[in-house]
Amino acid sequence: MDNNIELSLLEPDEKEQLEWMWNFIPQQDRQHLTKQDLLFVLDAMDDFLQQAGLVEVADNGEMTYLDGEVDDTEQLNYLIKAVGEAAKQKQCSPLTPSQLQIIMDAELQYGIEQGWYEE
């Protein structure tokens, strides 16, 4: 995972998702949160899905998401650990479990809007 990816280098659909999620998160919950942090958490969520066997990565780096159930508690615990370690290395801001849950909820709502997930 490249933690220093420039937001300007994102694909248009990635930018759209990031902006949608940013605007979905209530203003008071965005305090001490940056779009870079949000992107870091999205990448960590993909890492979790890959470890859970719910993502296949082709040789060219293209990701294919597979059908399956995600254990929200396991995913949150993974994110708490990943973000905690990254914050110690100054790769992202320290985020609380509540902030991580809000980001997970925003990603879920975006996915529902896109037809990726069922409600």
Domain ranges of the chain: 11-114
Structure confidence by residue, pLDDT tens digits, 10-21: 888 889 999 999
Structure confidence by residue, pLDDT tens digits, 36-48: 999 999 999 999 9
Token readout for 93 is 């801001």
Cα angle value 85/79/22 (rounded, 5°): 110
Prediction pTM value? 0.84
Query: Alpha-carbon distance 68 to 49, whole Å?
Result: 10
Structure confidence by residue, pLDDT tens digits, 64-107: 887 888 899 999 999 999 999 999 998 889 999 999 999 999 99
